[in-house]
Protein backbone atom coordinates (compact mmCIF):
# COMPACT_ATOMS: atom_id res chain seq x y z
CA UNK A 1 0.00 0.00 0.00
CA UNK A 2 1.49 3.30 -1.15
CA UNK A 3 0.22 5.36 1.76
CA UNK A 4 1.67 2.95 4.33
CA UNK A 5 5.05 3.13 2.62
CA UNK A 6 4.93 6.90 2.57
CA UNK A 7 4.07 7.04 6.27
CA UNK A 8 6.98 4.69 7.00
CA UNK A 9 9.28 7.11 5.19
CA UNK A 10 7.82 10.02 7.15
CA UNK A 11 8.48 8.24 10.45
CA UNK A 12 12.11 7.95 9.43
CA UNK A 13 12.25 11.60 8.33
CA UNK A 14 10.68 12.74 11.59
CA UNK A 15 13.29 10.84 13.60
CA UNK A 16 16.03 12.67 11.71
CA UNK A 17 14.25 16.01 11.92
CA UNK A 18 13.91 15.70 15.69
CA UNK A 19 17.66 15.21 15.96
CA UNK A 20 18.37 18.51 14.22
CA UNK A 21 15.40 20.68 15.19
CA UNK A 22 15.56 22.17 18.67
CA UNK A 23 11.94 23.04 19.45
CA UNK A 24 12.77 25.83 21.92
CA UNK A 25 15.06 27.44 19.39
CA UNK A 26 12.48 26.94 16.65
CA UNK A 27 9.94 28.77 18.79
CA UNK A 28 12.33 31.70 19.23
CA UNK A 29 13.02 31.88 15.52
CA UNK A 30 9.33 31.69 14.68
CA UNK A 31 8.55 34.50 17.15
CA UNK A 32 10.92 36.72 15.16
CA UNK A 33 9.33 35.88 11.80
CA UNK A 34 6.70 38.03 10.08
CA UNK A 35 3.13 36.81 10.67
CA UNK A 36 1.65 34.21 8.34
CA UNK A 37 -0.61 35.23 5.45
CA UNK A 38 -4.23 34.20 5.82
CA UNK A 39 -4.59 31.07 3.74
CA UNK A 40 -8.21 30.43 4.67
CA UNK A 41 -9.06 34.13 4.42
CA UNK A 42 -7.74 34.26 0.85
CA UNK A 43 -9.93 31.30 -0.10
CA UNK A 44 -12.98 32.88 1.52
CA UNK A 45 -12.66 35.98 -0.69
CA UNK A 46 -11.47 34.46 -3.95
CA UNK A 47 -10.44 36.41 -7.03
CA UNK A 48 -13.05 34.57 -9.09
CA UNK A 49 -16.54 34.80 -7.75
CA UNK A 50 -17.82 31.51 -6.39
CA UNK A 51 -14.66 29.45 -6.91
CA UNK A 52 -11.33 29.73 -5.15
CA UNK A 53 -8.14 28.28 -6.62
CA UNK A 54 -5.21 26.62 -4.88
CA UNK A 55 -2.67 26.02 -7.65
CA UNK A 56 -0.11 23.33 -6.96
CA UNK A 57 3.62 23.29 -7.69
CA UNK A 58 4.24 19.58 -8.30
CA UNK A 59 7.07 17.97 -10.21
CA UNK A 60 6.16 14.29 -9.92
CA UNK A 61 3.88 11.89 -8.09
CA UNK A 62 3.94 8.19 -7.21
CA UNK A 63 0.96 7.50 -9.47
CA UNK A 64 2.12 9.51 -12.52
CA UNK A 65 5.90 9.55 -12.20
CA UNK A 66 7.58 12.65 -13.60
CA UNK A 67 4.92 15.20 -14.51
CA UNK A 68 7.05 18.16 -15.53
CA UNK A 69 10.65 17.90 -16.70
CA UNK A 70 11.50 21.62 -17.01
CA UNK A 71 10.58 22.33 -13.42
CA UNK A 72 11.41 25.81 -12.14
CA UNK A 73 9.34 26.17 -8.96
CA UNK A 74 9.76 29.92 -8.57
CA UNK A 75 8.84 30.69 -12.18
CA UNK A 76 5.81 28.42 -11.95
CA UNK A 77 4.69 30.08 -8.72
CA UNK A 78 5.07 33.53 -10.28
CA UNK A 79 3.05 32.44 -13.29
CA UNK A 80 0.30 31.12 -11.00
CA UNK A 81 0.28 34.40 -9.09
CA UNK A 82 0.07 36.42 -12.29
CA UNK A 83 -2.80 34.21 -13.48
CA UNK A 84 -4.83 34.98 -10.36
CA UNK A 85 -4.43 31.91 -8.15
CA UNK A 86 -5.73 32.64 -4.65
CA UNK A 87 -3.20 30.41 -2.87
CA UNK A 88 -0.42 28.00 -3.78
CA UNK A 89 0.27 24.44 -2.68
CA UNK A 90 3.91 23.35 -2.72
CA UNK A 91 4.87 19.69 -2.48
CA UNK A 92 7.77 19.35 -0.07
CA UNK A 93 7.99 15.53 0.02
CA UNK A 94 11.17 14.52 -1.75
CA UNK A 95 11.07 10.76 -2.02
CA UNK A 96 7.68 10.32 -3.71
CA UNK A 97 6.88 13.72 -5.25
CA UNK A 98 10.37 15.08 -5.96
CA UNK A 99 9.46 18.14 -3.93
CA UNK A 100 11.61 20.10 -1.51
CA UNK A 101 11.34 22.39 1.50
CA UNK A 102 13.78 24.65 -0.35
CA UNK A 103 11.25 25.11 -3.15
CA UNK A 104 8.73 26.43 -0.67
CA UNK A 105 11.25 28.84 0.83
CA UNK A 106 12.30 30.12 -2.58
CA UNK A 107 8.66 30.59 -3.58
CA UNK A 108 7.93 32.40 -0.31
CA UNK A 109 10.53 35.01 -1.25
CA UNK A 110 9.13 35.47 -4.76
CA UNK A 111 5.33 35.67 -4.44
CA UNK A 112 2.81 37.29 -2.10
CA UNK A 113 0.24 34.47 -2.08
CA UNK A 114 -0.45 32.30 0.98
CA UNK A 115 1.38 28.95 0.74
CA UNK A 116 0.33 25.44 1.77
CA UNK A 117 3.02 22.98 2.75
CA UNK A 118 1.85 19.83 0.97
CA UNK A 119 3.36 16.86 2.74
CA UNK A 120 2.41 13.93 4.96
CA UNK A 121 2.39 15.48 8.41
CA UNK A 122 2.41 13.02 11.32
CA UNK A 123 4.34 14.97 13.97
CA UNK A 124 4.55 18.45 15.53
CA UNK A 125 8.15 18.84 14.42
CA UNK A 126 7.01 18.91 10.77
CA UNK A 127 4.61 21.72 11.63
CA UNK A 128 7.35 23.80 13.22
CA UNK A 129 9.47 23.10 10.18
CA UNK A 130 6.61 24.16 7.90
CA UNK A 131 6.40 27.53 9.66
CA UNK A 132 10.19 27.98 9.55
CA UNK A 133 10.45 27.30 5.81
CA UNK A 134 7.76 29.90 5.10
CA UNK A 135 4.43 28.08 4.94
CA UNK A 136 1.13 29.74 5.87
CA UNK A 137 -0.86 26.51 6.12
CA UNK A 138 -0.32 22.77 6.46
CA UNK A 139 -2.18 19.78 5.08
CA UNK A 140 -3.49 17.26 7.61
CA UNK A 141 -4.61 13.96 6.06
CA UNK A 142 -7.36 12.19 7.99
CA UNK A 143 -6.45 8.83 6.40
CA UNK A 144 -3.15 8.74 8.30
CA UNK A 145 -4.11 10.49 11.57
CA UNK A 146 -6.21 9.13 14.42
CA UNK A 147 -8.69 11.70 15.76
CA UNK A 148 -6.64 12.56 18.85
CA UNK A 149 -3.52 13.14 16.74
CA UNK A 150 -5.46 15.24 14.27
CA UNK A 151 -6.71 17.41 17.12
CA UNK A 152 -3.20 17.86 18.54
CA UNK A 153 -1.61 18.66 15.21
CA UNK A 154 -4.34 21.14 14.33
CA UNK A 155 -3.81 22.88 17.67
CA UNK A 156 -0.04 22.92 17.12
CA UNK A 157 -0.48 24.49 13.68
CA UNK A 158 -2.82 27.15 15.01
CA UNK A 159 -0.47 27.99 17.88
CA UNK A 160 2.12 28.92 15.23
CA UNK A 161 -0.33 30.97 13.15
CA UNK A 162 -0.74 28.30 10.49
CA UNK A 163 -4.11 27.51 8.93
CA UNK A 164 -4.95 23.87 8.25
CA UNK A 165 -6.47 22.10 5.28
CA UNK A 166 -7.87 18.82 6.58
CA UNK A 167 -8.18 16.22 3.85
CA UNK A 168 -10.76 13.42 3.70
CA UNK A 169 -11.71 10.88 1.07
CA UNK A 170 -14.76 9.14 2.51
CA UNK A 171 -17.62 9.51 4.99
CA UNK A 172 -15.80 7.74 7.83
CA UNK A 173 -12.86 10.10 7.56
CA UNK A 174 -15.18 13.09 7.43
CA UNK A 175 -17.03 11.88 10.54
CA UNK A 176 -13.68 11.61 12.33
CA UNK A 177 -12.75 15.16 11.29
CA UNK A 178 -16.12 16.45 12.51
CA UNK A 179 -15.19 15.23 15.98
CA UNK A 180 -12.36 17.75 15.84
CA UNK A 181 -13.88 20.73 14.06
CA UNK A 182 -16.93 21.93 12.15
CA UNK A 183 -15.22 24.91 10.54
CA UNK A 184 -12.11 25.80 8.59
CA UNK A 185 -10.92 24.21 5.38
CA UNK A 186 -11.94 20.66 4.57
CA UNK A 187 -10.44 19.15 1.46
CA UNK A 188 -12.19 16.31 -0.30
CA UNK A 189 -9.56 14.32 -2.15
CA UNK A 190 -11.05 12.86 -5.31
CA UNK A 191 -8.06 10.52 -5.37
CA UNK A 192 -7.99 7.51 -3.06
CA UNK A 193 -4.48 7.66 -1.59
CA UNK A 194 -4.42 3.88 -1.12
CA UNK A 195 -5.30 2.92 -4.70
CA UNK A 196 -4.80 6.25 -6.59
CA UNK A 197 -8.21 5.78 -8.23
CA UNK A 198 -9.97 9.08 -8.89
CA UNK A 199 -13.59 10.15 -9.21
CA UNK A 200 -14.99 13.68 -9.05
CA UNK A 201 -18.20 12.18 -7.65
CA UNK A 202 -16.44 11.86 -4.28
CA UNK A 203 -16.84 15.63 -3.82
CA UNK A 204 -20.60 15.59 -4.44
CA UNK A 205 -21.03 12.50 -2.26
CA UNK A 206 -19.43 14.11 0.79
CA UNK A 207 -20.68 17.68 0.28
CA UNK A 208 -24.10 17.14 1.94
CA UNK A 209 -22.33 16.04 5.15
CA UNK A 210 -20.19 19.18 5.23
CA UNK A 211 -20.97 21.63 8.05
CA UNK A 212 -22.08 25.10 6.95
CA UNK A 213 -19.14 26.87 8.52
CA UNK A 214 -16.53 24.74 6.76
CA UNK A 215 -15.20 25.57 3.30
CA UNK A 216 -15.11 22.60 0.93
CA UNK A 217 -12.05 22.36 -1.31
CA UNK A 218 -12.23 19.72 -4.04
CA UNK A 219 -8.78 18.21 -4.62
CA UNK A 220 -7.21 16.15 -7.42
CA UNK A 221 -8.08 14.97 -10.93
CA UNK A 222 -9.67 18.26 -12.03
CA UNK A 223 -8.81 18.87 -15.69
CA UNK A 224 -11.33 21.12 -17.44
CA UNK A 225 -13.62 24.04 -16.79
CA UNK A 226 -16.46 21.53 -16.98
CA UNK A 227 -14.82 19.61 -14.12
CA UNK A 228 -14.60 22.83 -12.09
CA UNK A 229 -18.28 23.57 -12.76
CA UNK A 230 -19.16 19.97 -11.85
CA UNK A 231 -17.45 19.98 -8.45
CA UNK A 232 -18.80 23.51 -7.89
CA UNK A 233 -22.36 22.36 -8.50
CA UNK A 234 -21.60 19.42 -6.19
CA UNK A 235 -20.77 21.83 -3.35
CA UNK A 236 -17.10 22.82 -3.67
CA UNK A 237 -16.14 26.42 -2.88
CA UNK A 238 -12.58 25.90 -4.06
CA UNK A 239 -10.41 23.59 -6.11
CA UNK A 240 -6.86 22.34 -5.69
CA UNK A 241 -5.27 21.59 -9.06
CA UNK A 242 -1.75 20.41 -9.84
CA UNK A 243 -1.14 18.01 -12.71
CA UNK A 244 -3.44 19.70 -15.23
CA UNK A 245 -1.45 22.93 -14.95
CA UNK A 246 1.96 21.28 -14.62
CA UNK A 247 1.56 19.43 -17.93
CA UNK A 248 1.08 22.69 -19.84
CA UNK A 249 4.05 24.72 -21.06
CA UNK A 250 2.20 27.96 -20.19
CA UNK A 251 0.64 27.36 -16.78
CA UNK A 252 -0.90 30.86 -16.71
CA UNK A 253 -2.79 30.13 -19.92
CA UNK A 254 -3.95 26.81 -18.45
CA UNK A 255 -5.26 28.56 -15.32
CA UNK A 256 -7.22 31.03 -17.48
CA UNK A 257 -8.72 28.18 -19.52
CA UNK A 258 -9.74 26.02 -16.59
CA UNK A 259 -10.79 28.75 -14.15
CA UNK A 260 -11.99 31.53 -16.46
CA UNK A 261 -11.15 35.20 -16.06
CA UNK A 262 -10.59 36.87 -12.71
CA UNK A 263 -13.83 38.62 -11.66
CA UNK A 264 -13.96 42.19 -12.89
CA UNK A 265 -10.97 41.76 -15.20
CA UNK A 266 -11.43 41.85 -18.97
CA UNK A 267 -11.16 38.36 -20.47
CA UNK A 268 -7.99 39.28 -22.41
CA UNK A 269 -6.19 40.36 -19.24
CA UNK A 270 -6.85 37.03 -17.56
CA UNK A 271 -5.90 35.07 -20.67
CA UNK A 272 -2.30 36.16 -20.93
CA UNK A 273 -1.57 39.88 -20.96
CA UNK A 274 -1.86 39.95 -17.17
CA UNK A 275 1.12 37.61 -17.08
CA UNK A 276 3.32 40.64 -17.86
CA UNK A 277 2.07 42.92 -15.10
CA UNK A 278 1.83 40.08 -12.61
CA UNK A 279 5.30 38.75 -13.33
CA UNK A 280 6.67 42.29 -13.11
CA UNK A 281 5.23 42.70 -9.64
CA UNK A 282 6.67 39.36 -8.64
CA UNK A 283 10.08 40.33 -10.03
CA UNK A 284 10.31 43.47 -7.93
CA UNK A 285 9.24 41.43 -4.92
CA UNK A 286 11.94 38.86 -5.58
CA UNK A 287 14.67 41.46 -6.00
CA UNK A 288 14.09 43.20 -2.67
Ligand X SMILES: O=P(O)(O)OC[C@@H](O)[C@@H](O)c1c[nH]c2ccccc12
Which positions are catalytic? Answer: 56, 58, 118, 167, 189, 219-220
From 13-21, 174-182, 201-209, 215-223, span contacting ligand X (CB under 6 A): 215-223
Q: How far apart are CB 100 and ligand X at their closest, in Å?
A: 14
Q: Does 242 bind ligand X (CB under 6 A)?
A: yes
Q: How far apart are CB 93 and ligand X at their closest, in Å?
A: 7
Per-residue CA distances from 88 to 31, 117, 186 (Å): 24, 9, 16
Compare residues 160 and 240 and give the one whose CB is closer to ligand X.
240
Report the C-alpha gap between 208 and 64 in whole angstroms: 31
Residue 112 near residue 1, CB atoms below 8 Å: no
Residue 218 near residue 248, CB atoms below 8 Å: no
Residue 14 near residue 123, CB atoms below 8 Å: yes
Q: Which residue is nearest to ligand X (CB)?
A: 242
Q: Does 200 bind ligand X (CB under 6 A)?
A: no
Q: How far apart are CB 68 and ligand X at their closest, in Å?
A: 11
Q: Can you tell me which of 13, 40, 81, 167 binds ligand X, judged by CB under 6 A? A: 167
Q: Can you tell me which of 101, 240, 256, 262 binds ligand X, judged by CB under 6 A? A: 240
256 φ/ψ angles, rounded to the nearest 5 degrees = -60, -40
Compare residues 215 and 240 and give the one whose CB is closer to ligand X.
240
Report the C-alpha gap between 270 and 251 in whole angstroms: 12
Residue 39's nearest CA partner among 134, 113, 100, 128 is: 113
Q: Does 220 bind ligand X (CB under 6 A)?
A: yes
Q: Which residues bind ligand X (CB under 6 A)?
A: 56, 58, 118, 141, 167, 189, 219-222, 240-244
Amino acid sequence: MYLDRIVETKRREVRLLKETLNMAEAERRIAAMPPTLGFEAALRSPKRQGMALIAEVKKASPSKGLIRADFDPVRLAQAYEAAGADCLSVLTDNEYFQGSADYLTAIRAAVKLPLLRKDFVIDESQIYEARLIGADAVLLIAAILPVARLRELKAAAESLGLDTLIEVHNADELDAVLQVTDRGLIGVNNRNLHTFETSLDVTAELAPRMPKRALLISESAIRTKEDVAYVGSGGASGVLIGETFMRRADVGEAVAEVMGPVSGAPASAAAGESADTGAGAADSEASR
